[in-house]
Amino acid sequence: MEKIAVIDPTPTCNTLTQRLGDFDTLISALEYAADGVTGYNFYDAKGRIRSTLPYKVLKHNARNLARHLLGIGLVNGDRVGIIGDTTPEFLEIFFACRYAGLIPFAMSVPVNLGSHAVYVRQLHGILKGSQASATLSSSDYIHFLEEAARDLRNLKWVGTPERLRKLPAPETVLHLSQPDEVAYLQFTSGSTRAPRGVVITERALMSNLQGIVQNGVEMRSGDRCASWLPFYHDMGLVGMVMAPMVTQVSVDYLATRDFAIRPLQWLRLISRNRCTMAFSQPFGLKLCTLRVRDSDLEDLDLSAWRTAGIGAEMIRPDILRNFAEKFRLAGFNSNAFLPCYGLAESTLAVTFAQKDSGFQSLRVDARMLADQRVALPLKTGEEKYNEFVNCGKPLPGHLIKIVNDTDQELPDSRVGSVLIHGASIMAGYFNDSEETKKALLPGGWLDTGDLGFILEGSLYITGRRTDIIIVNGRNIRAQDVEELAEQQPEIRAREASAFSVVGPQDNTIIVLVVECRLTVEIDRQSLINRLQRMVYMAFGVNCLVELIPPHTLPRTSSGKLSRSSTRQGFLLRANLRDQPSVESREK
């Protein structure tokens, strides 16, 4: 019988004196980490380790690949698109680009994006918009790339890392990165509009990383990370690839698709390897709560998990409570919850809640919020309420303010647009001066597009500006309508999308599009009637409900619902014109 080689993961304890991100560039951080013994580890769907990439090996392989990239005629500042699968090859190419003076960017894998044609069209748009000179992927996805790359004149080379290694590699002095150079492009998920390339400099990146590891998560010697987050998402790339590397910490990776099928494997990694730090979107925690059986808890030990970072989308308190209650039996301490707020336009992180304190939330009067945009804490338990999680205070060197529609700063508890200021803010959107001007305001402030309020110095996010539905002067959050629908037994999480359209009489109509598995017409109509009744009882407005087949709601590259795409699809099916509501036009 053939003997199977045993692969040992990179160790938790290092031989280096730990440095907490105090580097000028990403490459200088890798050069230091490569002198130690820690690194990246990759696991398969069954939780078996399939490969390791110590930082020492990453440095060596990336430097070699950098010469191959230069050998195909790429020059300093050229953009290189890489499909961001959870593999060592992606990381080697990404860091090779920085050694060669190139600007890498990650593109999503084809998960929950719809048809083959939709995915190819998305790749084509990103490659065209970035003016990429080269693009790479593993053999699993190269046929998508080759199709997407047709007719793109800027592209000099399309291929796999294996093909690249077979090409000549000229002996040349590699590029020495500088703080003011562009480090990479991060394409936004496109939940409310087409993806845009966020330009992040080395200086902004290192500023954000230092804030994260020193003041946010408070990294320390002996930490170990576990992650299922995709490399093409800013939380996955910056938070779970770069932050561990700049602190010389080992990471254990489970591919996003494998986590989605069996989230228990992520928890087993945390348990078996005594991981102390793992981040997730709220949806990931909900998946764990729903999919992990009670009988599986006996084999889990989550007591080493001291930092459970939560972010990347609206944080629902009930998801955190349910997770904590279920996994308490496996040793999970709810004080490990660390809510945070951030966005790609500020590299990654903006605020962090207080460490080791769990999550804090605030219940506010729902009517006051909708009618007057005031977050008034509940005085009794009788009123209808919205509950928001405290996302904490800004990182050092960063400021937050809340402004109204005329850009006047608002006092505590007043809901308005969230603006941020600091060293981590993007240089702009690549090759898009119009959108850059909309986002980067005078005085160095960034308009995040989010709504929220400040209370006692802490930030609470209430939603996206584009997700507010204005009906009869009331501000109704699309998330509230969707969460109401998800309470029905026939509807699962992320299977409802709410938005508004303008009706034939120029009136605003709330539309709720729901994925439905029911096939009997009387059952379908009963669900529609029930949803309409619940929306009216909760918000005092009528609602149009459309049922569509399962797995057909448009989603972004990070798995979020794309309300804008859902709305466009509905307008086409309903033969309605796309126009703002009367109330939006009058604001």
Rounded to whole angstroms, the Cα distance separating 475 from 367 reads 9
The answer to whether residues 575 and 501 touch, using CB atoms and an 8 Å cutoff, is no
First to last CA, the chain: 75
- Whether the CB-CB separation of 403 and 417 falls below 8 Å is answered with yes
Q: Are 494 and 522 in contact (CB under 8 A)?
A: no
CA distance 358 to 364: 20
The fraction of the chain above a pLDDT of 90, given in percent, is 72
The predicted-structure confidence for 342-384, as pLDDT tens digits, reads as follows: 999 999 999 999 999 999 999 999 888 888 899 998 877 667 8
Residue type, 463: G
pLDDT for 561? 77
pLDDT of residue 569: 85
What backbone phi and psi angles, to 5 degrees, belong to 563?
Answer: -65, -35
pLDDT at 462 over 50: yes
* Average pLDDT over every residue of 504-520: 85
Q: 3-class DSSP state for residue 312?
A: coil
Q: Report the alpha-carbon distance of residue 112 to residue 92 in Å, rounded.
A: 26
Cβ pair 413, 375 in contact under 8 A? yes
pLDDT for 585 equals 40
Model confidence pLDDT, tens digit, residues 88-145: 999 999 999 999 999 999 999 986 545 788 889 889 999 999 999 999 999 999 999 9
Strands 157-159 and 103-107: unpaired
**Does 434 have pLDDT greater than 60?**
yes
Residues 6+ apart with CB under 8 A from 411: none
Higher pLDDT, 324 or 386: 324
| Residue of 103, 171, 162 whose CA lies nearest to 137 | 162
3-7, 134-138, 392-396, 438-442: least confidently modelled range:
3-7
Taking alpha carbons only, the member of 38, 400, 344 closest to residue 199 is: 344
Asked whether residue 391 carries a pLDDT value surpassing 50, the answer given is yes
Average pLDDT, the chain: 91
Nearest CA among 125, 91, 96 for reference residue 231: 91
- Given a cut of 60, whether residue 583 has pLDDT beyond it is no
Give pLDDT tens digits for 285-297: 999 999 999 999 9
Cα–Cα dist 426/376, whole Å: 34
Q: Which two tokens stand for residue 49?
A: 């380790």
Say what the pLDDT of residue 587 is: 40
d(CA 469, CA 583): 10
- pLDDT of 266 reads 98
All structural domains of the chain, each given as residue ranges with its CATH number in brackets, are 26-280 (3.40.50.12780), 472-586 (3.30.300.30)
Per DSSP, the residues of 399-451 read EEEEE-TTSPBP-TTB-EEEEEEETT--SEETT-HHHHHHHEEGGGEEEEEEE
Neighbours of 87 (CB within 10 A): 21
Which two structure tokens, joined as six digits, stand for 524?
Answer: 């379908």
161-211: per-residue pLDDT in tens?
A: 999 999 988 888 898 999 999 999 999 865 445 678 999 999 999 999 999
Tell me: the pLDDT tens digits for 229-287?
999 999 999 999 999 999 999 999 999 999 999 999 999 999 999 999 999 999 899 99
Phi first, then psi, for residue 342 (nearest 5°) are -170, 180
53 or 473, which is more confident: 53
Question: Residue 429 contacts by C-beta under 8 Å, 6 or more apart in sequence?
Answer: 196, 197, 198, 199, 435, 436, 439
- Determine the pLDDT at residue 578: 56
Point out the least confidently predicted range of 99-108, 143-152, 481-490: 481-490
- pTM confidence score: 0.86
Whether residue 579 is predicted with pLDDT greater than 60 in this model: the reply is no
Q: Closest by alpha carbon to 142, among 157, 125, 126?
A: 157
- At CA 255, angle to CA 250 and CA 258, rounded to 5? 135
For helices 478-486 and 521-539, angle between their N-to-C axes, nearest 10 degrees: 130
- % the chain with pLDDT above 70: 94
DSSP 8-state code for residue 9: P
Q: Which pLDDT score is estimated for 574?
A: 80
Judge contact between 93 and 65, C-beta under 8 A: yes
